[in-house]
Structure 1
Amino acid sequence: MTDLHEKSATELVALMTAGELSSREATRAHLDRIEAVNGPINAIVTIDAEGAMQRAAEADRRFAESGPTGALHGLPMTHKDTHQVAGMRSTNGSPAFAEHVPDRDDLIVARLRAAGVVATGKSNVPEFGAGSHTFNEVFGTTTNPYAPTRSAGGSSGGLAAALAARIQPLGEGSDMGGSVRIPASFCNVFGLRPSLGVIPMPGERNAWAWLGRVGPMARTVEDIELFMRAASGPAAELQLQAPLDASAFGGEAPADLRGVRIGVSRDFGLGVPVEAPMLAALDRAVAVFESLGATVEEATIDLSEADRVFGDTRAIDFATGLGALVDSQPELVKPEVIWNVEKGWALDARTLIETTAAATRLQQRVRAYFESYDLFLTPGAQVLPFDATLRYPSDVDGVESMTYLDWMRSACLLSATGLPTLAMPAGFSDSGLPTGVQLSAFHYRDPQLLRVARVFEAATGYARTAPEISGDGRIVQTAPAFAGAHDHRDVE
C-alpha cells in the first residue's frame, strides 16, 4: 500500500487486526514519512528506528500467536517530549534534561503501549511545555506544515505538525493553557482537552492538581474517540476517579443537530482581542451549525474571574513542579518559566483563599450557563499562525501583549472552567492559513461533545485539506486558494 500516511488510525488498526497489513509495514511507512517530510518542520526530534522495528516485529509475532494486542494494535506513534518514555531520550525541551533517559513510562505512555502502540520517537515541545509556540535550545523550532515560516503552536506543536504532515494519524498531547487546542487550530487538526481525570494525569508533587490535562490529537474525530477508548479509565494514583467509562466513547452520531442549543461568544464577554480571520472562522462555524439544525445564540459563560483562577493556579503548578530547578539552576531555564515560578512563590495565603473562592464562583456560573445551553462555541485562537522566529506575538489586533500568555487567553479562560473542550478545524484564511474554533460541553459530557463534532466534521471536511508537499518531500506554502475550499455555503 502506497498511501498509508493518508489513512486514519482507525483505518490502519482495522487493516492490521484483519491481517491485511503488518505493524512492520505500517512502522516502516511511518519512519519513511519522517525522513521524507520532517526536515523543514522539525516536528520529530528523537527517532528510535531500530527499536521501533523491533517493537513492530514483536506486535506481529504476538498477533500471529493470539490476535490483536489492544485497541491500537501495531500503530506506530511518536510521543510528546514532555512525556517520559522508558529507555528513550526524553528532554522536556530543556538543556537541564538534554540527555535524560528515564527508566519508566509516564502513565499515558504505559497505557498506549498496553493498547498496542509501537513507540517510534518523540515530538518537539517548548521548554517544559511552557507557552504555545514550540521552540527550545535543545532542538530548535517546529514550524507549520501549511506555512513553514509560521508557528505550529504549542506546547503540542511537534505532534500537531506531525499530524498535519501525515507523519502519523494520532498522538497524545497535553493541555494546561491551550497546549492541545492552539496547535490544533494552527495545524488544521482536532485536539481534545478532556474532563478532569478521564485520562488520568497523576501529579508527582500535587495529587490534587487539576489544571493540566492529557488529551488526544488527530485528523478525525473518530480517531479521537478511538484514543479515548484506549487511554481512559480509573487509575490507582488518582485521589478521585472520573465518573465516565471508556466504553462511552463512540456510538452513533445524530443525523443532524436539531434541538442542540449552542451559545457563541466572539470575545468571551471580556473584550478579548481576536484577529479578524479567526472571527471569520467562528462565523463559518456558526453558519455550519445553523445549517445542521442547531439553535445558535450569542451567549457567554460569565468568565469575569477566570483570568485570576487560571493565572494563580498555573503559578502554583509551576512553582510546585519546577520551583526547585529554577531556584538551583536558573541559568538552564527560559525566562518565561522563571517568571511563572516566581509568581507562584509570591502568592500569599490570603491570595490563595480568595482564588479558591473565585474558582468556586466560576463553577457556579458555569452551571448556570449550561442550564440554558448544551455547548459553548468560541474562537480556536486569537491569532493566525505567526512568524516562527518570534517568541510570542507582541500584540493581538493592536492590543499589546504584556506577558507570554496574553495571546493565549482564549484558551486559558476555558482552562479555568475545567470544561471538556474540543478544538476543531474551521477552514482557511484568505492567506491560506489554518483556522479553528473551540467547542465546550459541561463536565463529563465528553462523549456527547465528540458526537456533535462528528456531525460538524462530516458537513465540512476541513481537516482533509493536506499541506502541499512537493515530489521530493519539500513542504511549501499553502496556496491562498485554499481559503474558500470549504466555505459554509457548501452545506447550506
Structure 2
Amino acid sequence: MKSPVAHPFSGPDLCAYEAHQIVALLRKGEIAPRDLLDAARARTQAVEPQINAMPTTCWDRADAAISALEGAGHDTPGWLAGLPIAIKDLTPVAGVRTTFGTKGLADYIPDASDPLVERLEARGALVVGKTNTPEMGAGANTFNKVFGATVNPWNTSMNAGGSSGGAAAGLATGEVWLSHGSDHGGSLRTPAAYCGVVGMRPSPGRAGGASLNAGYLIESVQGPMARSVTDCALFLDAMAGFEPRFPISYPAPDKPFQEAVRRAEGKLRIGYAPNLGGFSPVDAEMADHLSGAMKQLERSGATVEEACPDVTGLERTYHILRGISWVTASRTMDPAVRQHFKPTLEENTRFGEGLTIQDVAEAEVGRTTIFNAMLTFFERFDVLALPVVGCMPHPQSEEWVREIGGQTLTGYMDWLRFAFLATTAGLPAMSVPVGLGPRNMPVGLQLVGKPRGEAGLLAAARFVEMAMGGPLGPIDPVAG
C-alpha cells in the first residue's frame, strides 16, 4: 500500500487551505469573501476544461450576496462566514439554471431555492455554481446529454463516480472548499472514494430531504462533501437543524459535530466486512489495499475484527425501496421530461410501476430485520468498515462496471451493492480516503455508523484519516 504523496497543485494559495481554516480566517477578518470568490473563480476557470465538474456558475449572484453577510457577526458552529460552496444540479437554487442532468429540464431556472440551500445561505455560504450529475442522479458515472461527462481528476480518462461526481471532482481540484451532494445508492460515497475526498450520507432527516414532493421517503438524503473529515463536520453543522417543511426533520445536536472530530481517538472497535458476507464481489487489488489499511488502523490503536452483520434479503429489499422512490417521483413528473430518460433510468421507473403492495410490505419487513441485525452488530463494534465499491475506477467510457472479482454483473447497480446497507437501514455512512492504491488512484473506506450516530461516525473517520496520513488534496488534474 502506498502512502499519500504530494501532488502538484498550481491553483491560488487560498484554494489549498481546508474549509475550517478559511472560515477561521474569515471570522477574524484576515481575508474577505471576495478574496475567496476571486480565487475560486480563477481555479474553476483553469481546471473546468479538463474535468467538467461545475458546468453552471453564478459568480455575480454570489458576489451580490456578500453584502448580506457584512456585519452579521454570526457565531454559530455552522456559520460559514462567506465561504464559496457548490450545489449539486439536482437541487434548486433560485435564479440559477438547474437541469437535473436531463434534456427536458435543460433550460429550467427555478424561482425558489431548496430549503437546504436557503439554510446554507442564511448560515454564510456563497453558492457559486451547480455541479454535474448523471441524469436525475441515476448511476455512478457522471455524464448526461446536457453537459457531457465529468472525469476523474487523478486520471482524466477514468470515472469520477456518481451521482455527486461533479462535486467530488471540483473538491479534489480545489474549485471550492465544500460541495453539497446527495445519496441513494452511494451517490455521495462512490465519487468521494474515487476522487480522494470525504463524502457523508447522513441519517434521514439530519440535513433536509431530497424532495418536497416526497417528504416521507427516507432513502435519498442530502449531505456534505469536503476534502477532510474536519471540513465535513463543519459542513454538516451548517446543514443540520429542524426544517418544518420536511416531515422527518429533527433538531441539531447540542454539541457541534466539529467537537466530536476534535475528540477523535484510537480506542475504536471496528468490525470489518471485506465482501459483506459474500454479498458483493471485490477485485483482488482493492481487497489487498483495504487489508493493508486495516493493518495500519490496528497499528494505530484500533481493534479490528473481521465480522459481518446478517444482511439476508438486502438486495431485494433495496431494489424495492429504490423502485418506490422512482415511481413516486414519476407521479409528479411532466411526461415531456420523462420521454428523454436514458434506458437504465426508464427501467428503474418501470420496475417501480410494476411493484405490488405485497412487494412494499416485503421491503418494510426486510428493512426492519436488517436494521435490527445492525443494532446487534453495534453491541460489539463502534463502526462497520467495508469497501465503498469493489473495484478501482474504470474508464469513464464504461457506463457501469460489468465484472468484479471474476464475477459477471448483469444490472447497472450491481457494482454498487456495498452502498445498499446504509440506505436500506437508514444509517449514516461515509467514505474516507485511505491512501493511494493501484495506478496512483485514491481508495476510499466506507464506515457505517449507529442510528443517528453522525458524531461517533465522524470521530471514527477522523481517526482513520489521521492513521492513513491525512487529506489527499487538492491536486492539478492528471491527464489520462
Determine if the alignment matches structure 1 residue 476 to structure 2 residue 478: yes
Identify the residue that residue 257 of structure 1 maps to in structure 2.
266
Please point out which of 191, 199, 215 is paired with 2:223: 215
For residue 257 of structure 1, what is the amino acid of its counterpart? G
Please point out which of 123, 127, 130 is paired with 1:119: 127
Could you tell me how far 1:248 is from its partner in structure 2? 3.6
In 2: Cα distance, 1:157 partner to 1:236 partner? 30
1:57-72 matches, within 5 Å, as 58-59=67-68, 62-63=69-70, 65-68=71-74, 71-72=79-80
Identify the residue that residue 9 of structure 1 maps to in structure 2.
19
For structure 2, the residue ranges without an aligned partner over 5 or more in a row are 1-10
In 2: Cα distance, 1:69 partner to 1:157 partner? 32
Could you tell me how far 1:419 is from its partner in structure 2? 1.3
Deviations 1:324-376 (A, max 9, x none): 54856543111111111101110011111122111121122111111121110
Please point out which of 92, 99, 104 is paired with 1:96: 104
Q: Do 1:79 and 1:122's aligned partners in 2 also have CA atoms closer than 8 Å?
A: yes
Q: Do 2:182 and 2:188's aligned partners in 1 also have CA atoms closer than 8 Å?
A: yes
Secondary structure of 2:186's match? Answer: coil
Identify the residue that residue 307 of structure 2 maps to in structure 1.
299
Identify the residue that residue 343 of structure 2 maps to in structure 1.
335
Identify the residue that residue 28 of structure 1 maps to in structure 2.
38
In 2: Cα distance, 1:262 partner to 1:177 partner? 23
Identify the residue that residue 171 of structure 1 maps to in structure 2.
179
In 1: Cα distance, 2:106 partner to 2:251 partner? 38
Q: Do 1:8 and 1:223's aligned partners in 2 also have CA atoms closer than 8 Å?
A: yes
Identify the residue that residue 19 of structure 1 maps to in structure 2.
29
Could you tell me how far 1:13 is from its partner in structure 2? 1.3
Identify the residue that residue 463 of structure 1 maps to in structure 2.
471
Identify the residue that residue 414 of structure 1 maps to in structure 2.
422
Secondary structure of 1:121's match? Answer: strand
Identify the residue that residue 287 of structure 2 maps to in structure 1.
279
What value does the CA root-mean-square deviation take over the aligned residues? 1.9
Could you tell me how far 1:288 is from its partner in structure 2? 2.5
Identify the residue that residue 397 of structure 1 maps to in structure 2.
405
In 1: Cα distance, 2:376 partner to 2:429 partner? 18
In 2: Cα distance, 1:207 partner to 1:23 partner? 34
Deviates more, 1:321-330 or 1:221-230: 321-330
Q: 1:427 to 1:360 in 2, by over 3 A?
A: same
Could you tell me how far 1:203 is from its partner in structure 2? 3.5
For structure 1, the residue ranges without an aligned partner over 5 or more in a row are 470-474, 479-492
In 2: Cα distance, 1:288 partner to 1:418 partner? 29
Identify the residue that residue 372 of structure 1 maps to in structure 2.
380
TM-score, normalization by structure 2: 0.93
For residue 186 of structure 1, what is the amino acid of its counterpart? Y
In 2: Cα distance, 1:355 partner to 1:441 partner? 22
Secondary structure of 2:255's match? Answer: helix
In 1: Cα distance, 2:44 partner to 2:119 partner? 24
In 2: Cα distance, 1:144 partner to 1:314 partner? 27
Could you tell me how far 1:458 is from its partner in structure 2? 1.9
Identify the residue that residue 274 of structure 2 maps to in structure 1.
266
Identify the residue that residue 487 of structure 1 maps to in structure 2.
none
Q: 1:280 to 1:42 in 2, by over 3 A?
A: same
Could you tell me how far 1:246 is from its partner in structure 2? 6.2
1:236-251 matches, within 5 Å, as 236-242=244-250, 245=253, 247-251=255-259
Secondary structure of 1:182's match? Answer: helix
1:319-330 matches, within 5 Å, as 319-323=327-331, 325=333, 330=338
Q: 1:35 to 1:255 in 2, by over 3 A?
A: closer
In 2: Cα distance, 1:50 partner to 1:207 partner? 32
In 2: Cα distance, 1:147 partner to 1:202 partner? 31
Please point out which of 48, 51, 66 is paired with 1:41: 51
Identify the residue that residue 86 of structure 2 maps to in structure 1.
78
Secondary structure of 1:247's match? Answer: coil
Q: Do 1:420 and 1:442's aligned partners in 2 also have CA atoms closer than 8 Å?
A: yes
Q: Do 1:41 and 1:142's aligned partners in 2 also have CA atoms closer than 8 Å?
A: yes
Q: Do 2:104 and 2:336's aligned partners in 1 also have CA atoms closer than 8 Å?
A: no
- Structure with greater contact order relative to length (CA < 8 Å, sep ≥ 6): 2
Deviates more, 1:286-295 or 1:119-128: 286-295
TM-score, normalization by structure 1: 0.91
Could you tell me how far 1:2 is from its partner in structure 2? 4.4
Q: Do 2:105 and 2:337's aligned partners in 1 also have CA atoms closer than 8 Å?
A: no
Secondary structure of 1:154's match? Answer: coil
Q: Do 1:202 and 1:238's aligned partners in 2 also have CA atoms closer than 8 Å?
A: no
Q: 1:288 to 1:366 in 2, by over 3 A?
A: same
Deviations 1:158-196 (A, max 9, x none): 000000001111111000000000000000001111112
- Number of residue-to-residue matches in the alignment: 467
Secondary structure of 2:430's match? Answer: strand
For residue 36 of structure 1, what is the amino acid of its counterpart? A
In 1: Cα distance, 2:162 partner to 2:34 partner? 30
In 2: Cα distance, 1:356 partner to 1:139 partner? 38
Identify the residue that residue 8 of structure 2 maps to in structure 1.
none
In 1: Cα distance, 2:249 partner to 2:46 partner? 43
Secondary structure of 2:317's match? Answer: helix
Q: 1:428 to 1:2 in 2, by over 3 A?
A: closer
Deviations 1:366-409 (A, max 9, x none): 11111121110001211211111121112222222211101111
Could you tell me how far 1:243 is from its partner in structure 2? 6.6
Deviates more, 1:243-252 or 1:426-435: 243-252
Q: Do 1:69 and 1:116's aligned partners in 2 also have CA atoms closer than 8 Å?
A: no
Q: Do 2:241 and 2:251's aligned partners in 1 also have CA atoms closer than 8 Å?
A: no
Q: 1:340 to 1:2 in 2, by over 3 A?
A: closer
Identify the residue that residue 490 of structure 1 maps to in structure 2.
none
Secondary structure of 2:394's match? Answer: coil
Could you tell me how far 1:322 is from its partner in structure 2? 2.6
